[in-house]
Amino acid sequence: MAKWRREFAELFPDVGRRLSGDYKSIHAAFIELRCELPGRVAAGDTEFLRRMFLFAESSLESKNEAFVNAVYTCLLEHVFQDVTESQYPAIRPYLTPRMLNAIETWGFSKIPDAFKKIMQHSVRTIRTLQ
């Protein structure tokens, strides 16, 4: 079994069990994670969200172009379509600068103005706490 498949199965046992033995694509893995996003945000499952976005970030760091492409096209391109504006604060902590930059520069979608306001508020709050 490929290293990424073992890691995926360990991080997401419920999702991993749904995937068949024929499953060979990192793209399919990120599509499955994307399908989980709205429900996990609604349920407040911060641990799952943390693991999902850490897996995405580690895939972006990969030298494997297929992994990088899968994160962009199967997850990041759709992240703002899959959650409601009221849920933006729930995903904000998990979207790294690299991910946000990818959303903007790859032209898949734009970061909504409402999310940008949350980002600005976060920066002001951090400066206030320092």
Q: Chunked in runs of 10, what are the mean pLDDT values of the chain (130 residues)?
A: 84 77 78 94 96 95 91 91 93 91 75 86 48
Q: What is the pLDDT of residue 37?
A: 96
Q: What is the pLDDT of residue 90?
A: 94
**Domain membership of residue 16 as a residue range:** 3-129
Can you list the alpha helix ranges (DSSP code H) found in the chain? 3-11, 13-18, 26-43, 46-60, 65-74, 79-82, 88-91, 97-105, 113-129
Q: What is the pLDDT of residue 126?
A: 41
Q: What is the pLDDT of residue 109?
A: 67
Q: What is the pLDDT of residue 129?
A: 42
Q: What is the pLDDT of residue 125?
A: 44
Domains in the chain: how many in total? Answer: 1
Give the 3-state secondary structure of residue 49. helix
